[in-house]
Amino acid sequence: MNEKTPVKKRQGFSLVELMVALALSLLVMGFLARLFISQKKNYDDQAVISEMQENVKTGMLMMTTELTSAGYNPAGAAGAGIIQADATVLRVTMDLNGDKDVLDLNPDEDVTFAYNSANKELTRATSGGTGQALAGNIQSMAFAYFDGSGNALTTLPLSSGNRALVRRIKVTITATTAKDASKTRTLSSDVRPRNLGL
């Protein structure tokens, strides 16, 4: 029996093997670290985007719900309707309590939605007062107006004659994140105030 060969085979790792093993594990660790960082960034981005979408969806829903009642005029004597219609300002009235005026608050009968470009906010004001923020981090907001045949009424602000023709309002909002202005989401919604033109 030659005992030298088995002894040699039982030797531990050579320095070269150790170096190779170390290099490989460093590569694997580096890869895993990069994977983890990119996963975490994806997750953070998603969280920021969902927060942004919630913010803009909530603001949009509150606005469109209220706009649906524009022109509500059950007593036929309040003169309710669209008071101001511009690209970034929309003021509407409605006689929600049916007492022949549009002056009452809570529920508010005279509401203005506007885009505040300085603060990047969608605002809501009552009775022509100061707007309060409904949603922040809004990069842009635009109202578009259409008549009963679907034709766009494009001369803004609309004249009183054109305001009376409005049957559909399209709201488009582009929101961004506070952290990163390059991430945006655009949301559009159509409102057909059912009392306009009645």
Please report, as ranges, the residues that interact with Ca ion according to CB under 5 A: 95, 97, 99, 101, 103-104
Which amino acid, residue 102? V
Show Cβ contacts of residue 169 under 8 Å, excluding neighbours closer than 6 positions: 67, 90, 143, 144, 145, 146, 190, 191, 192, 193
CA angle 142, 148, 150 (to 5 degrees): 55
The least CB distance from residue 131 to Ca ion, in Å, is 22
**Cα-to-chain-centroid distance, residue 91:** 21
Task: Give whichever of 97 and 184 is closer to Ca ion, judged by the CB atom.
Answer: 97
Token pair for residue 119? 């603060």
Task: Give whichever of 66 and 95 is closer to Ca ion, judged by the CB atom.
Answer: 95
The least CB distance from residue 132 to Ca ion, in Å, is 21
The least CB distance from residue 111 to Ca ion, in Å, is 13
Task: Give whichever of 95 and 121 is closer to Ca ion, judged by the CB atom.
Answer: 95
Query: 184 near 175, Cβ under 8 Å?
Result: yes
The least CB distance from residue 78 to Ca ion, in Å, is 6
Task: Give whichever of 56 and 102 is closer to Ca ion, judged by the CB atom.
Answer: 102
